[in-house]
């Protein structure tokens, strides 16, 4: 049972344009959501997070939007840069006592120069 889904395995965007990565979840108990970026041969790097009490959080070029009624979150990167090319994972956690993260399968973003 895949509780966190990233339905687009890959995305290509021109440099300078907006990248939008999407993530859907099924468990309404999730209350904390994160995005990580992963380069080959490295561990995931934390990008941005959002609590379920908010619907938007910004950090520089990165903005995460949360739509609780649709159980959907998205990551916007503006403007996209070639260095943003990586695999992006969304993750969710809830108050289950362990605060384990449930990850999606990732979206490979390629920013074209």
Partner 1 sequence: DAGVTQSPTHLIKTRGQQVTLRCSPISGHKSVSWYQQVLGQGPQFIFQYYEKEERGRGNFPDRFSARQFPNYSSELNVNALLLGDSALYLCASSSTSGGETQYFGPGTRLLVL
Which residues make up the interface to partner 1 (CB under 8 A)?
Answer: 4, 31-32, 34, 36, 41-46, 49, 89, 91, 93, 95-106
Least distance CB 80 / partner 1 (angstroms): 22
Phi, psi at residue 80, to the nearest 5°? -75, 145
Bridge-partner residues for 19, per DSSP?
Answer: 77
Q: What ranges make up the beta strands (E) of 1-113? A: 4-5, 10-14, 19-25, 30-38, 45-51, 56-59, 62-67, 72-77, 86-94, 102-103, 107-112
Answer for the pair 77, 18: CB distance below 8 angstroms, yes or no.
yes
Nearer to partner 1, 7 or 46 (CB): 46
Nearer to partner 1, 41 or 113 (CB): 41
Nearer to partner 1, 15 or 49 (CB): 49
Nearer to partner 1, 26 or 45 (CB): 45
In the block, which residue shows the tokens 């289950």?
A: 96
């Amino acid at each position: 049972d895949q509780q966190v889904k990233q339905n687009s395995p890959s995305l290509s965007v021109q440099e300078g344009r907006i990248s939008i990565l999407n993530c859907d979840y099924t468990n309404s108990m999730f209350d904390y959501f994160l995005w990580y970026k992963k380069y080959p041969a490295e561990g995931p790097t934390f990008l941005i997070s959002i609590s379920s009490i908010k619907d938007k959080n910004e950090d520089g070029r990165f903005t995460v939007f949360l739509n609780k009624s649709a159980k959907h979150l998205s990551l916007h990167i503006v403007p996209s840069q070639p260095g943003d090319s990586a695999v992006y994972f969304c993750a969710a956690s809830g108050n289950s006592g362990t605060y384990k993260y449930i990850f999606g399968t990732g979206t490979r973003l390629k920013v074209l120069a």
